[in-house]
Amino acid sequence: MVENTLGDRIKRLRKQQRMTQVNFAQSLGISQANLSEIESGKSKPSIEVLIAMVILYKVNLHWLLLSENLLFKKEMGADESELINSYRELQDIAKEEVLDYLKLKLLRYKK
């Protein structure tokens, strides 16, 4: 599916999050009416709203603005998403340990 407009891409993001316009708008600090106008192309989101989408929903700003196939650098599977979310919850020392372990596994199973 190619999203031709910024509004189309924002709507796609909202639907991927399984959110209503009301919930999605609230998460961004805007009204449902404003979101509806953005999705329909009648208005453009502020930079603050775009930044909120990037931060809250981990969306690629390049994709959001330019419609290139970069919603996420690569579509992630559920296991990859879980791994990233879990990693983000770790303390810095634990993150270093995970990275060291990953490097060892890459050396061992490198194709």
Residue 25: is its pLDDT beyond 80?
Answer: yes
- 63 close to 2: Cβ distance less than 8 angstroms: no
Up-side HSE of residue 1: CA atoms within 13 Å toward CB? 8
- 47-86: pLDDT as tens digits: 999 999 999 999 888 888 887 654 445 566 788 888 888 9
Q: Judge if pTM exceeds 0.85.
A: no
- 86-108: pLDDT as tens digits: 988 999 999 999 999 999 988 88
